[in-house]
Amino acid sequence: MRRILSGIQPSGQLHLGNYFGMMSRMIDYQENNDLFCFIVNYHALTTMQDGKLLQENTFNAACDFIALGLDPEITTFWVQSDVPQVTELTWLLANITSVGLLERSTSYKDKIAHGITPNMGLFTYPILMAADILLFGGEIVPVGKDQKQHLEITRDIAIRFNNIYGNIFVVPEPDINKTTQLVPGIDGQKMSKSYGNSIPIFASEKYIRKQVMSIVTDSTPIDESKSIDTTLFQLYSLFLNEAEREELADRFRTPGLRYGDVKKELFNRIMDLFTPFREKRVELEKNRGDVIAILRKGADKAAAVAEQYLKRAREVVGVNYC
C-alpha cells in the first residue's frame, strides 16, 4: 500500500478547483491506499489573522471533506496543529534550506503581487509544507498544478537532508492530473478561494447560480461556431466523460449555440453531482462533537507516525543529546 498524503488550507469556501484538482482524487485513492489527509491551519495563519474565522473555517473544511466522501475509518484525517511535532521538524529542516530556494518560490511572489504584505510565515511556508509531507513518510502527493513547485522544494529539502544525515526521509512524488490540474475561475484565471472567482461547492444555490451565469464568454455571434478553448467549455468538461465531451465540442462548433443555455446546463450538472454531498454536510454540521472526535482520533494516529520520523531526525541532527 502506498502512503498518499495531501492537505488543504482552511482559508475559505471550498470550490470546484479544490474538488477536481485534489479532493476527489484523494477520496478515490482511499480504498486501496494508506491515505493521510489534513487541514493545514498553521499554513492558513500566513494570510489570516482572524482567530474566530480560522476556527470556524477549520471545522467547515473538516465537514467538507467528510461530506464529500472521505471515510475517517480508513483514512487518517486530522488538523495540522493537533500534531505540533510538525513545527519542530520545520525548524530542523529550516537549517538545511537555503534562503535562495525560498526566494525562488513563485507562490510567494504571486501572493505579494496580489497585495499581501509578506511575513516570515509566508516566506517559510514551503518548509512547513515539506515538514507536513516528510513527517508522515508521504510517497505520493495529489495536488493541483499551483503546488508543483512546492513539491519540488520538498523534494530538494528531503534529498539535502538525506545527503547530510543519511536516509531518513521518503522523497515524495507529486501527483498532478493533466485534465484537472488548473481549473479556471469564472474570470478565466486560476480558480482560487481568495480571488472572488470561484464556484463554491457548499455555497447557497443562488450564489452558485450567480457565479455560473457570470462565467466569462466571448462575443462570438450566435450564428457562428464557438471556440472550445474557453473557460465555459473547460468548466463543463469537468463533469463529462470522453464521449460527452466530444458531443459538447460538436455543439460548440455548430452555429446556433447560446452560452446562456450551456451555463444553465452546467449549473444543473453541478447541483446533480453535489446535492447528495450538500445534504450530508448539513447533517454533519449539526453534529459538531462527532466531527471533532473524528479529528482528534485522526491526530492520535498521525502523531504516532510523526513521532517515529521526528525521533530519527532529532537523533541524526544531534539535538537528542542524552
C-alpha cell, 249 = 465540442
Question: In this complex, which beta carbon is closest to ligand TRP, that of residue 171 or of residue 216?
Answer: 171
Indicate which of ligand ADP, ligand TRP, none lies near residue 193 (CB less than 5 to 8 Å, by partner kind). Answer: ligand ADP
- Chain residues 97-136 in contact with ligand TRP, contact rule CB under 6 A: 129, 132-133
Q: How far is the CB of 151 from ligand TRP (least distance, A)?
A: 8
Indicate which of ligand ADP, ligand TRP, none lies near residue 183 (CB less than 5 to 8 Å, by partner kind). Answer: ligand ADP
Which of 304, 290, 274, 294 has its CA nearest to residue 39? 294
Could you give the CA distance from residue 122 to residue 135 in angstroms, rounded to a whole number?
A: 20
Is 230 a binding residue for ligand TRP by CB under 6 A? The answer is no
Is 58 a binding residue for ligand TRP by CB under 6 A? The answer is no
Is 150 a binding residue for ligand TRP by CB under 6 A? The answer is yes
Indicate which of ligand ADP, ligand TRP, none lies near residue 141 (CB less than 5 to 8 Å, by partner kind). Answer: ligand TRP
C-alpha cell, 252 = 460548440
Contact at 8 Å (CB) between 121 and 154? Answer: no
Question: In this complex, which beta carbon is closest to ligand ADP, that of residue 149 or of residue 225?
Answer: 149
Q: Which of 109, 145, 178, 190 is catalytic?
A: 190
CA angle 32, 37, 42 (to 5 degrees): 165
Helices (H), 139-230: 148-165, 205-213
Q: Which of 52, 109, 111, 206 is catalytic?
A: 111
> Can you state the angle between helices 148-165 and 106-113, rounded to 10 degrees?
140
Check if 193 is active-site: yes
Check if 210 is active-site: no
C-alpha cell, 18 = 479544490
Check if 190 is active-site: yes
Q: Which residues of this chain interact with ligand ADP, rule CB under 6 A?
A: 8-9, 11, 17-18, 21-22, 143-144, 146-147, 180-183, 190-194
Applying CB under 6 A, what is the total number of residues that bind ligand TRP? 14
Provide the 3-class DSSP secondary structure of residue 77: strand
Q: Which residue is nearest to ligand TRP (CB)?
A: 7
β partners of residue 15: 200
Question: In this complex, which beta carbon is closest to ligand TRP, that of residue 9 or of residue 197?
Answer: 9
Indicate which of ligand TRP, ligand ADP, none lies near residue 21 (CB less than 5 to 8 Å, by partner kind). Answer: ligand ADP
Secondary structure of 175-187 as H, E, C letters: ECCCCCCCCECCC
Question: In this complex, which beta carbon is closest to ligand ADP, that of residue 154 or of residue 161?
Answer: 154
Could you give the CA distance from residue 168 to residue 98 in angstroms, rounded to a whole number?
A: 19
Indicate which of ligand TRP, ligand ADP, none lies near residue 133 (CB less than 5 to 8 Å, by partner kind). Answer: ligand TRP
Which of 69, 27, 70, 63 has its CA nearest to residue 281? 63
Please state, as a whole number, how many other Cβ atoms lie within 10 Å of the Cβ of residue 253: 12
- Catalog residues that contact ligand TRP under the rule CB under 6 A: 5-9, 40, 43, 129, 132-133, 141, 143, 147, 150
Q: Which residues are catalytic?
A: 111, 190, 193
